[in-house]
Structure 1
Amino acid sequence: MSTLPFLARRVLAFSVFTVSVVHAAPAPSAPKLVLVLAVDGLPAEQLQRYRGQFGQGGLRRLMDEGAVFSNAHQAHGVTVTAVGHAAILSGAYPYQHGIIGNNWIDPVSKASVYCTDDASHTYIGEETKPGDGTSPARLRVDTLGDQLRYASGNRAKVIAVSGKDRGAILLAGKTGTAYMYMDKTGNFASSTWYMAAHPQWVQQYQAGRPQDRYYGKTWKPLLADAAYAGDAPDALFPATPASPNRFPFSFYSDSGNIDADYFNRLKTSPFLDELTLDFARAAIEGERLGGTAGVTDLLGVSLSAHDYVNHAYGPESKMSHDHLQRLDRMLADFFTYLDRKLGAGNVLVVLTADHGFPNTPEFVKAAKGDAGRVNAGALVAALNVALAAKYGHEKLAIAQSAPNFHLDYAAIDKLGVARGEVENTAAAFLRAQEGVAEVFTRSQFEANATGATRMGVLMRRAWHRELSGDLVVVTRPNWYFSSSGSSSGTGTSHGSPYSYDTNVPLLLSGRKWIKPGYYGQYAETVDIAPTLANVLRLRPPSGSEGRVLVEALQTP
């Protein structure tokens, strides 16, 4: 491996390929449709581990016929759904695009805010609660879809569909249209940011109630038992009153009726992705995507269920393994549909993920590794005790949305103590706590003094001066902040700068534009937007810092 620091290697690579782009020949013809698939929570290693079990027409088709970047990363330090989705089509890092987490602390009110909430907009025909995701207003940059719309005089259509509101909204950008799964009704719906009422095709789709067809159905393993021999044993997932935590899984409601309980349970199953792809087909038909001569349309599809499954059971589980096999078959059907609808070779496909996943702590510990969960609330409480003992003020750490922790600078100023001193005291205390690897301070970020190590660079990219915390805590490898706030529990989570969270699939397919091959070059998800812009002869999005993946592009 190169001895150059991480940032220097990235800058050098960027410079080299920027020069190459100037002389690159344009693509021979534009695709009818660009399909961007984001599989929520899919580590790159799972594609390699299970490759031999995939069918012929889905993931293996992309891997055999397209460009596979094995060393691709979500190259920022807070690897969660919203941040990753914002990067894919903006080409920007969080310090520019402003989506620093799924949630974060408002710097003025100190209240928690959600990445896509917008009180001025509501879901169409659905209950909208405070904090629900209804618009891209918090996204501070434009996207490839916005550039496509602009360059085409708004003739190009940009549609995004997801099981999560943030997955759809952050792919759709400012001028596209997002549709998201409603876990109270099982509908896919948009919001008033995009339109006043749903078009007729959406109303017809909703009237068909496809989400009801899974009631009483079970999810059983797709393959023979021997195919799962290397997965984590069932004993790792203790049964609970709410779930047996092992196959078969049944989908129903405790009330005995098709209701919100049932629709919520569907999320941790292959059926959510099946519904998402089904709605994507309806969008292609209803909006005539790819059907306007001389115009390229963009369809973003974020498949959310793998994330829910991995959170519950970990990527080492039989459930995660089987879910990916089922998703592979769903994609094969979807690609066959696209070939039939738009003609083989007329769609450019990109598949990536918003983040990877670590194994569950229990799995790591069983292999004699160090792992655990960090209770962020308890960490803040302990920090305040330590700071009070030194400075005589009861609560200098006033809020947290891990990994961001916020200090009361007004109180610190009244104490007559330098802010940097309190930051350093707090950082030293936190570094000594179980499960903590490193702590970066506001003063470090503002002075660009986080260092040229990979961790330092990724955390600097993830930090936004106006929005992020005054202390940013990085857990040790295989430790993570528990979403429940507890240091115990089940399942696993993500959000770190470690490779298991950053290394994601990056597959590009479409022989008119993409040169098939297995590429070991370092790549990032921020490279997707400028690469597609190059193919489509568009201006890259305003915040784009990625490089064009010229090594994987066809020349006439």
Structure 2
Amino acid sequence: MIIWKTQVFHVSLQHHFQCTMNKWFSSLISFIAITGLQAQHPIDRPKLVVSIVVDQLRGDYLQYFSSTFGEKGFKRLMQEGLFYHSVDFGFPNLSQASSTAAIYTGSYPYYNGIIGDTRFDFNTNGEISIVSDEHFMGNYTSNRVSPFALLSSTVGDELKIASQGQGKVYSIAPNAEEAILSGGKYANCAFWLDESNGKWATSTYYKDIPGYVDNYNASDAIGNYPEKQWDQSHAYYNGLPYATSLSTPFSYRFTKTDKDRYTKIKQTSLMNMEVTKLAGRFLENAGFTRNLSSDLLTLTYYAGNYTYNPNQDDYSYEIQDIYYRLDKEIENLLDLIDRKVGLKHTLILLTSTGYYDAVQKPSKKFKPAGEFHPNRCTSLLNMYLMAIYGQGNWVTGYFNQQLFLNKKLIEDKKVDGRELLRHAAEFTNQFSGVQEVTTSAEPHRGMNKNLSGDIFIELQPGWVIVNEKHSEKPQYTREKAIQPPLFIFGENIRKEQVFRPVKATEIAATLCYILRIRPPTACKDFPLQEIITN
């Protein structure tokens, strides 16, 4: 009996100890959960979001050229905001249009329909702008464009829907594709610089064309000046040690006698200055922050090479000067926002289009690995298919490393389309320089079933595309591996540097989370975790 009582006592003591520990752990877990929730203050919804995309912005160049930067431009974003060092776009053949669409729709071309700056026109067997639309006329331009090519909603569209049209959405960019795709289908208006007159243009698709833009075009737009000049800002740049030393600083004059004047200006810091100047008019006159809804202003800047100097290469003073002056524009923009709206009411996002167009000069010493001739490929493939399926123009054309098959002929001759596609792909894959082919039967994320070609050709790095049918410069194949940065800057944004790669398609989800609206219709990603746990 004594032994039995002792056992009972030990069992009772053990049970009491377990109950006490369980209660203690439960209390500890509850305390951690409660304090954790209390620490995660949701970001205040900003009255204005200024979303900036810089075409071809490189993270490594921001480091190389930082010695020329001031303290209130890029360095301010780096030191006072949330700084992601690398953004992954997740699909090939990036361009201004496809990257911009991916950022603002949170989706790939497979879903949003924007496969590039241009697309193949089956009526003319040529290329046209991805936003081309003959149903609408241009304002200050002959371009006929609209956002109807977008198959997904954008951040701006969702803001319009959520606010029942009260939130203002405007976009400003050098080119029509960037401006239109940044704003979306429901934007108040989108503006770009027309290459024929140097005025800020738009489409009759939009019904809200502010009078202050007309006033700006009449007096201050770059097209009102008989001459513009781009001069080197510093006598010497040392960000790229391989840059060719110039006996005299560069200087470019853009006069009205040059028919390509404004096309060239779009690749200089003059274009970035023009974007900031027009943005200032919107910040002053658009009435941002005056209603209960948030507003959105999207801007596009340029940070690529100046390709109109035949002697320029990647290691130029021009690219360093563009970055130096772009830093000044970011500083000026932040100052404008603070004076006109207030930085405490504004969230600023800045990122890149994720690619970089390298300048490749012909060289006798360093020759390409080989030449790929699209017209020869097209002709030989058509002859091969005729040998199997009979006479006919089986290959409609070649465009942007894609082959388009004649679907009408395939249907008329009652040919098995999948079998013909397989034969065509197998034949194309045998060409020298072809690394891999992808077909419309198994498309990658950068393709769209209604717009892309039937066969997508990936060439081996180092090969050059020589198109004899067009007066295009040879296209050198090079992987565009750069580090596109992402900055998020605002009143309640935690200062942090993040080195893990993040997806470009997470940006739209993040903006929508901050604005407290639903994400775009094709967006499958979640907001960035640093914002959720801010």
Q: Is the TM value for this pair above 0.5?
A: yes
Which residue is 2:182 aligned to? 171
1:372, 1:39 → 2: CA distance?
Answer: 33
Residue identity matched to 1:440: T
Which residue is 2:251 aligned to? 248
2:463, 2:313 → 1: CA distance?
Answer: 14
Length-normalised TM-score, structure 2: 0.83
Residue identity matched to 1:309: Y
Q: Structure 1 residues 118, 486: CA separation in 2 closer, same or farther (over 3 Å shift)?
A: closer
Q: State the Cα distance separating 1:542 from its structure 2 match.
A: 0.7
Q: State the Cα distance separating 1:205 from its structure 2 match.
A: 1.1
Secondary structure (helix, strand or coil) at the match of 1:462 reads coil
State yes or no: 1:520 paired with 2:499: yes
Secondary structure (helix, strand or coil) at the match of 1:504 reads coil
State yes or no: 1:137 paired with 2:148: yes
2:460, 2:204 → 1: CA distance?
Answer: 42
| Correspondences of 1:209-224 after superposition (within 5 Å) | 209-212=220-223, 215-224=226-235
State yes or no: 1:298 paired with 2:296: yes
1:95, 1:158 → 2: CA distance?
Answer: 26
Which residue is 1:433 aligned to? 431
Which residue is 1:279 aligned to? 278
Which residue is 1:500 aligned to? 481
Q: State the Cα distance separating 1:286 from its structure 2 match.
A: 2.0
Q: Structure 1 residues 61, 249: CA separation in 2 closer, same or farther (over 3 Å shift)?
A: same
Q: Structure 1 residues 310, 488: CA separation in 2 closer, same or farther (over 3 Å shift)?
A: closer
Which residue is 2:404 aligned to? 406
Q: State the Cα distance separating 1:169 from its structure 2 match.
A: 0.3
Which residue is 1:467 aligned to? 451
1:95, 1:179 → 2: CA distance?
Answer: 26
Q: State the Cα distance separating 1:377 from its structure 2 match.
A: 3.7
Whether the 8 Å CA contact 2:343–2:491 is kept in 1: the answer is no
Q: State the Cα distance separating 1:267 from its structure 2 match.
A: 2.0
Percent identity over paired residues? 26
| Correspondences of 1:283-362 after superposition (within 5 Å) | 283-289=282-288, 291-303=289-301, 305-307=302-304, 309=306, 313=312, 315-362=314-361
Which residue is 1:56 aligned to? 71
Which residue is 1:240 aligned to? none
Q: Structure 1 residues 320, 374: CA separation in 2 closer, same or farther (over 3 Å shift)?
A: farther
The structure 1 residue matched to 2:490, chosen from 490, 510, 532, is 510
Q: Structure 1 residues 94, 364: CA separation in 2 closer, same or farther (over 3 Å shift)?
A: farther
Q: Structure 1 residues 403, 485: CA separation in 2 closer, same or farther (over 3 Å shift)?
A: same
Which residue is 1:450 aligned to? none
Q: State the Cα distance separating 1:220 from its structure 2 match.
A: 2.5
| Correspondences of 1:15-26 after superposition (within 5 Å) | none
| Correspondences of 1:144-163 after superposition (within 5 Å) | 144-163=155-174
Q: Which deviations, in whole Å up to 9, do the C-alpha atoms of 1:127-169 show, x marking residues without a partner?
A: 42xxx35210111111111111121221110000011001100
State yes or no: 1:30 paired with 2:45: yes
Which residue is 1:201 aligned to? 212
1:553, 1:310 → 2: CA distance?
Answer: 42
2:420, 2:217 → 1: CA distance?
Answer: 55
1:357, 1:482 → 2: CA distance?
Answer: 20
Which residue is 2:509 aligned to? 530
Length-normalised TM-score, structure 1: 0.80
Which residue is 1:96 aligned to? 111
2:411, 2:269 → 1: CA distance?
Answer: 53
Whether the 8 Å CA contact 1:376–1:485 is kept in 2: the answer is no
Q: State the Cα distance separating 1:215 from its structure 2 match.
A: 4.4
2:419, 2:338 → 1: CA distance?
Answer: 62
Q: Structure 1 residues 344, 418: CA separation in 2 closer, same or farther (over 3 Å shift)?
A: closer
Residue identity matched to 1:461: R
Which residue is 2:12 aligned to? none
Q: State the Cα distance separating 1:483 from its structure 2 match.
A: 8.7
Q: State the Cα distance separating 1:540 from its structure 2 match.
A: 0.7
2:363, 2:85 → 1: CA distance?
Answer: 24
Q: Structure 1 residues 136, 314: CA separation in 2 closer, same or farther (over 3 Å shift)?
A: farther
Whether the 8 Å CA contact 2:105–2:505 is kept in 1: the answer is yes
Q: State the Cα distance separating 1:311 from its structure 2 match.
A: 8.3
Whether the 8 Å CA contact 2:283–2:341 is kept in 1: the answer is no
Q: State the Cα distance separating 1:549 from its structure 2 match.
A: 0.5
Whether the 8 Å CA contact 2:112–2:152 is kept in 1: the answer is yes
Q: Which deviations, in whole Å up to 9, do the C-alpha atoms of 1:267-312 show, x marking residues without a partner?
A: 23211111111111112222122x3153321110012x43462687
1:72, 1:318 → 2: CA distance?
Answer: 26
Q: Which deviations, in whole Å up to 9, do the C-alpha atoms of 1:420-453 show, x marking residues without a partner?
A: 44333332333343443211112233xxxxxxxx
Whether the 8 Å CA contact 2:360–2:476 is kept in 1: the answer is no
Which residue is 1:239 aligned to? none
Which residue is 1:550 aligned to? 529
Whether the 8 Å CA contact 1:375–1:485 is kept in 2: the answer is no
1:353, 1:324 → 2: CA distance?
Answer: 13
2:398, 2:174 → 1: CA distance?
Answer: 27
2:382, 2:433 → 1: CA distance?
Answer: 18
Moved more, 41-50 or 328-337: 41-50
Q: State the Cα distance separating 1:370 from its structure 2 match.
A: 5.5
| Correspondences of 1:183-198 after superposition (within 5 Å) | 183-195=195-207, 198=209
Residue identity matched to 2:378: V
State yes or no: 1:105 paired with 2:120: yes
Q: Structure 1 residues 281, 249: CA separation in 2 closer, same or farther (over 3 Å shift)?
A: same
Structure 2 residue runs without a partner (length 5+):
1-36
1:314, 1:484 → 2: CA distance?
Answer: 24
Secondary structure (helix, strand or coil) at the match of 1:156 reads coil
The structure 1 residue matched to 2:138, chosen from 117, 123, 128, is 123
Residue identity matched to 1:167: E
Residue identity matched to 2:211: Q
Whether the 8 Å CA contact 1:482–1:493 is kept in 2: the answer is no
Q: Structure 1 residues 506, 249: CA separation in 2 closer, same or farther (over 3 Å shift)?
A: same
Secondary structure (helix, strand or coil) at the match of 2:203 reads coil
Q: Structure 1 residues 32, 78: CA separation in 2 closer, same or farther (over 3 Å shift)?
A: same
Whether the 8 Å CA contact 1:32–1:347 is kept in 2: the answer is yes
Residue identity matched to 1:249: Y
Secondary structure (helix, strand or coil) at the match of 1:345 reads helix
The number of residues matched between the two structures is 494
2:468, 2:495 → 1: CA distance?
Answer: 43
RMSD: 3.3
Whether the 8 Å CA contact 2:159–2:517 is kept in 1: the answer is yes
2:276, 2:467 → 1: CA distance?
Answer: 28
Structure 1 residue runs without a partner (length 5+):
1-21, 236-244, 446-459
Q: Structure 1 residues 416, 33: CA separation in 2 closer, same or farther (over 3 Å shift)?
A: closer
Q: Which deviations, in whole Å up to 9, do the C-alpha atoms of 1:156-191 show, x marking residues without a partner?
A: 100000110011000010111101111111111221
Which residue is 1:242 aligned to? none
Residue identity matched to 2:48: L
